[in-house]
Structure 1
Amino acid sequence: MQHGKYRFIVGFLVAPLALYAIFVIWPFIQSIYYSFTDWTGLSPDFKMVGFDNYTRLLHDDIFWKSLQHSVIFVVLLPLVTLSLALFFAFMLNVGGRRRKGAAVAGVRGSGFYKIAYFFPQVLSVTIVALLFRFIYNPSGGLLNSALDAIGLGSFQPQWLGDPTWALWAVMAVLVWSTVGFFVVLFSAGMASIPKDFYEAALLDGASRITTFFKITLPLLWDTIQSGWVYMGILALGAEAFSAVNIMTVGPGGPDYSTTVLPLYVYQSAFRDANAAYATTIGVALLIVTLLFAAIVMRLGRRDRLEY
């Protein structure tokens, strides 16, 4: 019976593991291999050049700029997004005033707020980026027009055209477009926490802030940790690439002020026709992503709480 059970399990695992190896593991191996060549991506001919691409990478100022911007994204974007999402979810579920028959409740109109927060998720990142490109327009854009209307006409930067503001402008858009997803995610997690915990804490005189840090945060820790990793991967991947590629001129902003690693990979491969160097940058991006996930999982390790 045991032998038959293992054969049954292996039979189910063979197909998905084979697909994973073909479509995930093998492309990684190919990318690492091509990073040691001079392949243009347009011709089947190439030759091995050893560590020349990696030597060039270490002396590439644009690479170090893009790495710095990606690190800023991967550190600040999850921090700001998840902090806002936790605050909004807490207010929508247990942060309201006491009502008749319910000691713990969300703010009034919480159902509407959940829909409003989640609405940006309905829009693709392409539409969001185009929308905010018009909002940030220095000539008649909504943001500068609003500043002018409230008497701040003297403070009207170029936003996406100013190296000082461009990166932060793109980051603000990414926060706006992703915070709603985590509000819904954390709201679902908070809804599963027994209300008795909050009621007992409030009867003992605990404040809302105390209940958040002593009840909500510990019991949602696994969800927050997963969300941090997911948000970090978005910041290092498609979300950051799409926003920067669509919103900023170049693309990459003035003086490469918004260039991130995924965008530099794309430009090296398709603009400069240097696929080998692009795969080298991709290997660096892979290392950064793995380091980020490992650090988050290591720092976030704690005993699992059950209720």
Structure 2
Amino acid sequence: MEVRKDGGGESLPPSTRLHLAAAFFLPPRFTPARVRYDRRYRKLDQYRFIVWFLFLPLLVYLLFVVSPFLQAFFYSMTDWTGYSANYNFTGFENYERLWNDDKFWDAMVNSLVLVVLAPVITLALGLFIAFMLNAGGRRGRSQAVSGVFGTGFYKIVYFFPQVLSIAVVAVIWSRIYSPRSGILNEGLGSVGLDSWRQEDWLGGDLARWCVLAVLCWSFVGFYVVLFSAAMGSIPREIYEASLLDGAGRSVTFFRITFPLTWDTIRTGWIYMGIQALDSFALVNVMIPEHGMDVVPSYLFEKAFRDGQAGYATAIGVALFLVTLAFAVLMMLVGRRERIEF
């Protein structure tokens, strides 16, 4: 394709074309005038600014994010132990072993149960509590819509678990679930529900439900604050107009609050799903050995206890693909026309 000047059909000489190509890397002051005033240079200057503005962030991203992912894909096809620099390329053997590993699939089922149920329960509780704190109170004389009494105090109480480290949360709840001196068994016994007491809350099938309860408890406060901020941005006039039309709390929630906070809900759903998939610290600290595994804890076991870093990396690749599929699915399912207000 020939490069032509603005005013005529004459081709640019080779030297000018070379200057035009080099202008992408040159500051404007060092660019020859015959190139600087060409319309193609003005277009090039626009893209040059964008590229150089993004160059350093993209370089850092490629170095510290993309590069480790590519290395992980490579090491997942080796028999690397993690404790030596020596390894052999094994192709897809680790993935074939993964496909036939029953313990891996048990861990995957536990992770999928958490990723399906934890966002539903946590976001539903967060939405309900945030709605009550922002628009669920009695109508006042000065405000048609207000939260329940003590809204500020409740926000602090619900957000408190977010201040604690996840390891501290796991230790606290492991004591609560203790079969001998735990508050849960003692509380059930004190109200006459001795038949509900368990000898091992954190073992067997009950473990995943106990982890699910702790996961929801520890994150619901964050979503109460997040959804409260989203609801606070909704103009009060919309609520007042709905009340004048005779709308109750349920109609107000499903017809006004829920649609106008949908973008925040979708983002929270993705974030909570990723948190559920990455429940390693909670399971590793709270659950006794062999009581329950999720994919990250099984990965840790293979990498650092069994010295099978190559196989553990293949597990990590599988976890990455599941996380990516979940995020893409939620983006597609939750996509809709943006509501402006």
Q: By the TM > 0.5 criterion, same fold?
A: yes
Aligned residues of 1:245 and 1:263 also touching (Cα < 8 A)? yes
Aligned residues of 2:177 and 2:202 also touching (Cα < 8 A)? no
Q: Which of 204, 207, 225 is the equivalent residue of 1:166?
A: 207
Q: Which of 59, 75, 80 is the equivalent residue of 1:18?
A: 59
**Which residue matches 1:188?**
229
Aligned residues of 2:167 and 2:285 also touching (Cα < 8 A)? yes
Pick 1 or 2: higher relative contact order, CA cutoff 8 A, min separation 6.
1
Kindly state the Cα deviation for residue 140 of structure 1 after the two structures are TM-superposed.
1.2
Kindly state the Cα deviation for residue 7 of structure 1 after the two structures are TM-superposed.
2.9
Aligned residues of 1:160 and 1:248 also touching (Cα < 8 A)? no
Q: Which of 241, 245, 257 is the equivalent residue of 1:200?
A: 241
User: Structure 1, residues 80-102: CA drift from partner, whole Å, max 9, x if none?
Assistant: 00000000000000011111111
- How far apart, in 2, do the equivalents of 1:290 and 1:13 lie? 24
- How far apart, in 1, do the equivalents of 2:102 and 2:260 lie? 44
Partner letter of residue 261 of structure 2?
A: L
TM-score, normalised relative to structure 1: 0.95
The answer to whether structure 1 residue 78 and structure 2 residue 104 are counterparts is: no
The answer to whether structure 1 residue 225 and structure 2 residue 259 are counterparts is: no
Alignment identity in percent? 54
Kindly state the Cα deviation for residue 158 of structure 1 after the two structures are TM-superposed.
3.1
**Which residue matches 2:323?**
289
- How far apart, in 1, do the equivalents of 2:199 and 2:43 lie? 69
- How far apart, in 2, do the equivalents of 1:177 and 1:157 lie? 23
Aligned residues of 1:93 and 1:190 also touching (Cα < 8 A)? yes
The answer to whether structure 1 residue 246 and structure 2 residue 285 are counterparts is: yes
Q: Which of 158, 163, 176 is the equivalent residue of 1:135?
A: 176
Instruction: Provide structure 1 residue ranges, at least 5 long, that are not aligned to the other structure.
Output: none
- How far apart, in 1, do the equivalents of 2:340 and 2:263 lie? 11
Aligned residues of 1:93 and 1:106 also touching (Cα < 8 A)? yes
The more displaced of 21-30 and 84-93 is 21-30
**Tell me, what secondary structure is at the counterpart of 2:195?**
coil
**Which residue matches 2:332?**
298
Q: Which runs of 4+ in 1 moved over 6 A?
A: none
**Which residue matches 2:142?**
101
Q: Which of 26, 37, 40 is the equivalent residue of 2:78?
A: 37
- How far apart, in 2, do the equivalents of 1:229 and 1:201 lie? 31
The answer to whether structure 1 residue 277 and structure 2 residue 316 are counterparts is: no
Aligned residues of 2:202 and 2:210 also touching (Cα < 8 A)? no
- How far apart, in 1, do the equivalents of 2:88 and 2:182 lie? 50
- How far apart, in 2, do the equivalents of 1:130 and 1:236 lie? 20
Instruction: Provide structure 2 residue ranges, at least 5 long, that are not aligned to the other structure.
Output: 1-41
- How far apart, in 1, do the equivalents of 2:201 and 2:53 lie? 51
TM-score, normalised relative to structure 2: 0.86
- How far apart, in 2, do the equivalents of 1:23 and 1:221 lie? 33
Kindly state the Cα deviation for residue 2 of structure 1 after the two structures are TM-superposed.
5.0
- How far apart, in 1, do the equivalents of 2:55 and 2:234 lie? 39
The more displaced of 208-217 and 7-16 is 7-16
- How far apart, in 2, do the equivalents of 1:83 and 1:188 lie? 16
Aligned residues of 1:229 and 1:296 also touching (Cα < 8 A)? yes
- How far apart, in 2, do the equivalents of 1:92 and 1:249 lie? 38
Aligned residues of 1:77 and 1:232 also touching (Cα < 8 A)? yes
**Which residue matches 1:178?**
219
User: Structure 1, residues 67-88: CA drift from partner, whole Å, max 9, x if none?
Assistant: 1111111110001000000000
Aligned residues of 2:202 and 2:287 also touching (Cα < 8 A)? yes
